[in-house]
């Protein structure tokens, strides 16, 4: 009886935590969505300058939420707002983050393609490497859901351990059921937990970046005095990968093994 009461309390606490988190997420999303809707109304009324400013503010809000709790939906909304604000480079960066978290989402892929078509100069997309390339295989399940699964699995595991310690050895049937619970809880906690750790490692290892400046000419060294590394400047939205960094300068590579240095303020890393 004591074991049942303990397990029930754990379940209640877990459910209350989930409900509280979901409520807070809805409240945060409402603020960003409200700004986006205000921007849409301003655009429809012909106030394009005000609309762009509101779209940028709503994008900031969506991105702030997404950085607090990784969410493909929030990054997707941020990309939509950035695109409406005329910030093509930052829109593409937001869509790429959303796609990394939800690789099978066709809406994200469609909007990313549309944003890329607005660039003046096309560059081949940079593909993720290493664990960042493997991570999408488990991201069909949202990270927040995997976190809850890990918590529940961990709770079931320790409830089972406590039950096994408290139950008399003669109660073989009850002990057998709790052994199954311990095994299942342990597997869920380990698998879900490892994928979350894998997400963190994948983000830190993902070297992809996007040019956000309107126009930037890569140099052969980290300074304006060095010769140009490419004949044509890169436009906002160009995909690249970060190789090295120096004070105020970043070395990048483009598809086709072209390398050069650009001011760090002219690009945005995905993670």
pLDDT at 118 over 50: yes
Question: For residue 27, what pLDDT is reported?
Answer: 45
Tell whether 2 is covered by a domain. Answer: no
The CATH number of residue 231's host domain is 2.30.30.40
The single residue listed with the structure tokens 């060294």 is: 221
Question: For residue 123, what pLDDT is reported?
Answer: 65
**Cα–Cα dist 243/106, whole Å:** 30
Q: Retrieve residue 171's tokens.
A: 């109660």
Give the CA angle between residues 146, 151, 154 to the nearest 5°: 120
Q: Retrieve residue 11's tokens.
A: 């379940």
State mean pLDDT over 81-89: 93
User: Could you tell me where the beta strands, DSSP code E, fall in the chain?
Assistant: 208-211, 215-216, 234-235, 239-246, 249-254, 258-263, 267-269
Last residue of a domain, one of 157, 187, 203: 203
User: What is the extent of the structural domain holding 55?
Assistant: 20-118
Task: Pick the closest to residue 165 from 180, 154, 178 (CA basis).
Answer: 178
pLDDT at 129 over 90: no
Task: Pick the closest to residue 203 from 136, 122, 107, 263 (CA basis).
Answer: 136
Last residue of a domain, one of 83, 118, 153: 118
Quick check: helix, strand or coil at residue 220? coil
pLDDT band at 30 (very low <50, low <70, confident <90, very high): low
Last residue of a domain, one of 185, 203, 221: 203
**Cα–Cα dist 91/171, whole Å:** 61
161 and 223 belong to one structural domain: no
pLDDT at 10 over 80: no
pLDDT tens digits, 34-50: 999 999 999 898 888 99
The CATH number of residue 109's host domain is 1.25.40.10
**How many domains, the chain?**
3
Q: Using only C-alpha atoms, what is the Rg of the chain? A: 24
């Amino acid at each position: 009886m004591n074991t049942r009461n303990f397990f029930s309390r754990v379940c209640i606490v877990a459910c209350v935590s989930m409900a509280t988190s979901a409520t807070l997420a809805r409240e945060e999303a409402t603020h960003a969505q409200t700004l986006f809707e205000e921007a849409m109304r301003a655009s429809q009324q012909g106030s394009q300058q005000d609309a762009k400013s509101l779209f940028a503010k709503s994008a900031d809000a969506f991105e702030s939420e997404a950085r607090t709790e990784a969410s493909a939906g929030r990054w997707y909304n941020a990309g939509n707002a950035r695109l409406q604000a005329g910030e093509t480079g930052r829109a593409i960066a937001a869509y790429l983050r959303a796609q990394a978290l939800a690789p099978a989402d066709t809406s994200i892929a469609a909007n990313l393609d549309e944003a890329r078509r607005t660039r003046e100069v096309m560059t081949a997309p940079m593909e993720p490497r290493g664990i960042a390339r493997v991570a999408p295989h488990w991201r069909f399940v949202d990270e927040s859901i995997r976190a809850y699964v890990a918590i529940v699995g961990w709770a079931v595991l320790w409830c089972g351990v406590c039950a096994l310690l408290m139950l008399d050895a003669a109660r073989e049937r009850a002990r057998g059921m709790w052994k199954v619970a311990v095994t299942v809880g342990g597997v869920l906690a380990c698998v879900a937990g490892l994928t979350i750790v894998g997400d963190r490692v994948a983000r830190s290892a993902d070297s992809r970046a996007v040019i956000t400046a309107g126009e930037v000419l890569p140099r052969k060294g980290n300074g304006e005095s060095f010769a140009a590394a490419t004949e044509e400047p890169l436009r906002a939205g160009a995909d690249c990968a970060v190789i090295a960094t120096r004070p105020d300068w970043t070395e990048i590579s483009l598809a086709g093994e072209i390398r050069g240095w650009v001011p760090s303020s002219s690009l945005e890393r995905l993670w």
